[in-house]
Structure 1
Amino acid sequence: MKRRMLMAVPLIFGGLLPIAACSQALGIPAVDRPAGEADHWPGADEQLEGLDAGSVRLLFSQGSADYFAVASADQLTACLYKFEEDSSQGSVGGCGATGGSDVIVEVSTPKTKMMLVRSGADTAELEQAGWMRIHENIVVF
């Protein structure tokens, strides 16, 4: 009987390890929390092609701008989108690999410069260069 109990414990923990490792690899805690009312995707459904619509999370709102994160089902890709109510361009965004780099994706247009960064990312050099961390996962210029 003891032998079976000891065998079951590694199987239980072994089953949970890939889930925890995947979540940590993403580096965006908001994606791990349950979706709320504010987490409704404001863009076109086509923008979510290849991504997990259930992972859409509103990260930050500032003035008329809302910043959303979304990830792929395997959490190997994460995206940052900025939607502005008063903008004719609708949204600006981009996606990048969630590997080991602190910066997941940098989006740069004539009017918007932003980065999606992993939680705990060292952004001191970016901030010295004029970037500002507005959320634990968002840096803007």
Structure 2
Amino acid sequence: MKRRMLMTVVLALVGLMAVTACSTAAGIAALGHPAGEGDLWPGESGQLEGLDEQSVRLLASHEGAKYFVVAAKDQQTACLYKFEEDSAQHSAGGCGAAGGSGIIVEVKTPSSKMMLVREDADTAELEGSGWTRIHENIVVA
């Protein structure tokens, strides 16, 4: 009897871990992959305060800029950062709740707009209004 109870608890925990693993990726597959050579943070280390430095992933390079995603240590927040390739000093970024919404965060600067979106986000309306999907998780305008 104790053995069945223990097996039930183990199976329940394994199921919970599987659900948690899916939710920590926030609809961003790159967060679930091992880091590669290109995933080195180009900015200052202070920018990563409160974030999981091990989760930094380069998502895309587009028009002279590199776009990175990084998750919070609690996996409840995901951030999008854009670094100009000619200078790591010129960066913009923002963070948002990594819940079920299609758009995780929108970042606007005087010269650009970008959004971090879930992979399954429907961006057709955005793209119809001038946004461009440059990666499965990034749209820019």
Partner amino acid, structure 2, of 1:74? D
The alignment status of 1:13 with 2:11, answered yes or no, reads: yes
Cα distance in structure 2, aligned partners of 1:74 and 1:18: 16
What root-mean-square deviation, in Å, do the aligned CA atoms of Structure 1 and Structure 2 show? 1.8
Which deviates further from its counterpart, 24-33 or 81-90? 81-90
> Normalization by structure 1: what TM-score?
0.89
Partner amino acid, structure 1, of 2:111? K
User: What is the Cα deviation at residue 74 of structure 1?
Assistant: 1.6
Partner amino acid, structure 1, of 2:15? L
Q: Secondary structure at the match of 2:34?
A: coil
> Normalization by structure 2: what TM-score?
0.89
1:83-108 CA-partner distances (Å, limit 9, x unpaired): 01235851110001111210000000
Match of 1:132? 132
Match of 1:43? 43
User: What is the Cα deviation at residue 10 of structure 1?
Assistant: 3.2
Does the 8 A contact of 2:40 with 2:56 survive in 1?
yes
Does the 8 A contact of 2:66 with 2:82 survive in 1?
yes
Does the 8 A contact of 1:55 with 1:71 survive in 2?
yes
User: What is the Cα deviation at residue 14 of structure 1?
Assistant: 2.5
1:45-82 CA-partner distances (Å, limit 9, x unpaired): 11000110010000011242110000012211000000
Matches within 5 A, 1:35-114: 35-86=35-86, 90-114=90-114
Segments of 5+ residues of structure 2 without an aligned counterpart are none
CA pair 20-73 structure 1, distance change in 2 beyond 3 A: farther
Cα distance in structure 2, aligned partners of 1:16 and 1:80: 31
Q: Secondary structure at the match of 1:99?
A: coil
Cα distance in structure 2, aligned partners of 1:121 and 1:23: 19
Cα distance in structure 1, aligned partners of 2:43 and 2:59: 15
Identity score, percent: 59
Equivalenced residue count is: 139
Q: Secondary structure at the match of 1:75?
A: coil
